[in-house]
A and B are shown apart, each in its own frame.
Chain A
């Protein structure tokens, strides 16, 4: 009854169609309004990148300044360092994160002892449930110069205290560790689901042929994960210009000493926005990030579409 063909729609007048679908359209209305207000209107606001924004004049009243904001941004010399940091951190997050997620998915799928496995999985999942603010409190507890647990232990062992809050060097390792730590349980679920979906007959056949557990992992489990790994890799590479603002902001705050090794595009835009003098530069950087992001997503999605059309975003 309801499965009418598309050609029937065209024969109806638009008014009749609208009337017939009035309730469905009304049900869409809240989400449509939301999307217009919070997504499409700000897209119009990217004109700010070409304006000298004055709060009193608003977005449309502020004067046009052409490419001045971009010129300042380039002259400031900050664009490249924050771009480089964003890309390098995201690459490290993707590679290290995936390695451990896959490793623990395989371990979880092969190890015996149901209860132990369940407890381990619950523990691994827990850090996903807390905010970066709480992670910052934990890092404070461990690494604080005067009171941190780590320095406490170092002193009792007779070594000198370490102050990570005025040394940018240990931060990349710490941030990569925290990101991996928080995403481990969540990320491994996807791979675990794929592993449990692998055809069990392959393992049984391998058993009959006398394969050992390592051969089964390297010849059956990992090859079966490859398509998923490729998709996850490409999807996250598409987002490589989008930084994890919460991680960097909460852990580093705006500690000037640490910024050279920890400032990413997102934190840079936020700081520029908060100091009103730099709104022009903030919006220019924001537009730069949006455009670069858009292009990378399109490129990586085109690649996915080529190798596995089912997983393409559109």
Chain B
């Protein structure tokens, strides 16, 4: 936000100094056209999906997906919502995983970051390297998968959707550099008053880190909401699917759609498969579209915090 205002002021001052010379006009025309084109390219695909989701199935079968809605129909959505066991379960699972996962991620990143930025913590360099090394070298997918499935019992376990993603070294580094800028005097005076380190973190550091918490929370929430990878690796049980994985299955196999038709009591040939695929896509990104206008600026802010001090 601040830098947008700043850019605004800057252009205002320029405006007053130089009245529109030809080069500035030319640049602005080209710039406007480019920005307009790229905005359309970024948004138009979503329009197509929404149009597809509201189009009558027979029309899609005979004429394909369209740029407009030739014949309006809610069949795709109706059938999606007729399946409380599967799609609503996927919604519930995704919300559950996102809330728990985001909460734990924020705690893990800030708590670890707080300890590692404490200048009086004697082993902070050693621990920092211990964490950082994992970004340079890793064991790869195969040992990880076998460890999770054979030794940790992650197969068909909802824990597998949350636990592997609750700690990110990059988020911890962002937290560390943010908290480092909070004056040490706060920790010092609280120590003199006899507060212990955990209380200092919870009562003093956290309330001063609201912008950090907002940014990390949004990054994590987005990651958990959009996660299909853990679900694909570990979950076979349909009642434990997340939204994204459910969508992936619907797009990928007729089989998944057939099961859905069975449960809804609709004969397979009459199943509005195409409009349903699009309806399911809209359902899975719906909440993101709804909150997007309100949270977008925190992402921009967070990126600049993280980028400067990576």
Contact = CB atoms under 8 A, between A and B. Distances in A.
A119 interface: yes
A144 B197 CA distance: 58
Interface string B28-52: 1001101110111111011011001
B296 A125 contact: yes
A162 interface: no
Contact of A190 (B36, B66, B228, B307): B307
Interface stretch (A22-30, A70-78, A88-96, A168-176): A22-30
B22 to A, nearest CB: 8
A109 B277 contact: no
Interface string A1-29: 11110000100000001000101101110
B19 to A, nearest CB: 12
Contact of A184 (B42, B67, B151, B222): B42
Contact of B52 (A26, A30, A141, A253): A141
Given A31-B172, A45-B142, A127 B42 contact: yes
A262 interface: no
Contact of B140 (A127, A137, A186, A269): A269
Contacts of A64: none
B241 interface: no
> Taking each of B6, B138, B198, which has the highest tally of chain A beta carbons within 10 Å of its own beta carbon?
B138
Interface string A253-281: 10000000000001001100100000100
B114 interface: yes
A149 B67 contact: yes
B302 to A, nearest CB: 10
A140 B42 contact: no
Given A1-B191, A108-B35, A283-B142, A214 B23 contact: yes
B119 A3 contact: yes
B184 interface: yes
Contact of B247 (A119, A134, A147, A283): A134
A189 B300 contact: yes
B281 A30 contact: no
B111 interface: yes
B32 A111 contact: yes
A124 interface: yes
A39 interface: yes
A146 B64 contact: yes
A107 B43 CA distance: 19
Interface stretch (B7-15, B74-82, B84-92, B260-268): B7-15
A38 B229 CA distance: 16
B14 to A, nearest CB: 8
Contacts of B150: 55, 58-59
A308 interface: no
Contact of B64 (A37, A122, A148): A148
Interface string A205-228: 001000011100000000000000
Given A31-B172, A141-B278, A109 B7 contact: yes
A184 B38 contact: yes
Given A27-B111, A186-B303, A214-B27, A192 B3 contact: yes
A257 B40 CA distance: 32
Contacts of B119: 2-3
A25 to B, nearest CB: 8
Contacts of B45: 138, 141-142
Interface string B196-211: 1110010000000000
Contacts of A45: 139, 142-144, 146-147
B143 A59 contact: yes
Given A39-B134, A108-B35, A213-B23, A189 B304 contact: yes
A308 B138 CA distance: 26
Interface string A131-154: 101101110111010111101110
A62 B40 CA distance: 56
Interface in B232-273: 244-245, 247-248, 251-252
A137 B281 contact: yes
A82 interface: no
A241 B307 CA distance: 23
A43 interface: yes
A190 B176 CA distance: 20
Given A114-B8, A144-B65, A213-B27, A43 B139 contact: yes
Contact of B143 (A42, A136, A149, A214): A42
B158 interface: no
Given A34-B108, A148-B64, 13 more contacts: A4-B120, A27-B114, A28-B112, A34-B166, A35-B167, A40-B134, A43-B137, A114-B11, A125-B296, A133-B284, A141-B45, A181-B42, A286-B142
9 contacts: A35-B130, A45-B143, A107-B31, A110-B27, A120-B36, A124-B38, A153-B67, A289-B140, A290-B138
Interface of B: 3-4, 6-8, 10-11, 14-15, 17-18, 21, 23-24, 27-28, 31-32, 34-36, 38-43, 45-46, 48-49, 52, 60-61, 63-67, 108, 111-112, 114-116, 118-123, 127, 129-132, 134-147, 150-152, 164, 166-167, 172, 184, 187-188, 191-192, 196-198, 201, 222, 226-229, 244-245, 247-248, 251-252, 274, 277-278, 281, 284-285, 288, 292-293, 296, 299-300, 303-304, 307-308, 310
6 cross-chain pairs, A with B, having the tightest CB-CB distances, nearest first = A45-B143, A286-B140, A42-B139, A131-B226, A123-B39, A212-B23
